A and B are shown apart, each in its own frame.
Chain A
Amino acid sequence: MAPTLPSSDQASDQDNWDNGRLARKRQLLIEIVLRNKLTALVVDGDTTCRVLEQLLLRSYGVQTQGVDNGRDAVALIASGVKLDLIIIDMILPVLNGLETTRQIRDMGVHCKMLGVTICSRESERQVFLAAGVDVFIEKPLDPEHLVPILRELDGQ
């Protein structure tokens, strides 16, 4: 269901703003066509966030799986699964996001890692980058941040 729009003679400034943003987002969704099969892992303890991030990735054709804690993420990667992209939250059950990131990097995994988390402090951002994520993105993950990264991974 596309967002419902009032008829043009009733469009308010808010409607026009929404329509403009929506058009740009649609453009982002339509523009990218991946040439390669990319694979991704979403590591997030929150079901809503994890489901949405996986769906967003899949909408671009990225083969995606998800785990809800850091220990399972480490185990999955240790099993030999090859990934192009890992999206990881900072606060995770069982094994936190910082330690999970460090362990993944210590295993010699060099794939792109996005720290996608709620952040209120610059120090948190720096700590997450120091742990090994390549990019820090404040939740929610959106196409404007994701699409350039997917293009880069796809060699576009």
Chain B
Amino acid sequence: MERNPMRRQLAIMRQSLFDQGHVDEQFVQLEELQDDANPNFVEEVVTLYYRDSARIILNIEQALERKPFDFRKLDAYMHQFKGSSSSIGAKKVKAESTLFREYCKSGNGEGCMRSFQQLKKEYATLRKKLGAYFQLARQAGPVETASRPK
């Protein structure tokens, strides 16, 4: 496949990540930290996020199996997860994290469980979309970047 059509496809894919609300401007911030010395930086950070956040997801799942719910602990886990998600610009995941914390605050166990299920869906969807995006980006190859002073 020629590079230019791939580049166009990549741009469309990137745009849809924003248009569909999966990522916010923090994702642009990550892209800004990427340069010739670190051409796969964004992918590496997202990989790091999914690796580390898997542990938090598991902790929350286990905590939701124990009754009565320890809302303080659940909130603390979600605090970390939300922070991590916000740092990569995961907009929908972050929104569900906020909702979960609201349910923790009000002691609504059913709400926590519902919200957590939705959060996991958004988390998985984002992973799939970003995975496809990075795969295409690697195929398309690097673009010229304007150099900025270090």
Q: Which chain A residues lie closer than 8 Å to B137 at the CB level?
A: 1
Contact A2-B145, Cβ < 8 Å, known A47-B48, A48-B48: yes
Asked if A25 and B28 sit within 8 Å, CB to CB, the answer is yes
Query: Chain B nearest CB: distance from A62 CB in Å?
Result: 12
| Residues in A whose Cβ lies below 8 Å from that of B125 | none
Q: Is the interface of B mostly helix, strand, loop or mixed?
A: helix
Partner of A91, one of B25, B80, B149: B80
- Residues of B near A90 (CB, < 8 A) are 79
Q: Verify if A142 is at the interface (C-beta below 8 Å from B).
A: yes
Report how many residues on chain A are interfacial, defined by Cβ distance under 8 Å. 39
In the complex, B11 has a CB within 8 A of chain A? yes
- Is B30 part of the contact surface with A, judged by Cβ < 8 Å? yes
Q: Which residue of A lies closest to B25 (CB)?
A: A21
Size class of the contact patch on chain B: 35 or more
Contact of B14 among A4, A120, A142 (CB under 8 A): A4
When chains A and B are docked, how far (Å) is the Cα of A14 from the Cα of B150? Answer: 29
B88 near A: Cβ within 8 Å? yes
Task: Choose from B15, B84, B144 the contact partner of A12 (Cβ within 8 Å).
Answer: B15
Residues A118 and B79 in contact, CB atoms below 8 Å apart: yes
5 further A-B pairs in the complex, CB-CB below 8 A; given A89-B83, A90-B79, A143-B29: A18-B25, A22-B32, A44-B83, A48-B88, A61-B150
Query: Which 7 residue pairs spanning A and B have beta carbons closest together?
Result: A4-B11, A118-B83, A140-B87, A2-B145, A48-B49, A48-B84, A6-B11
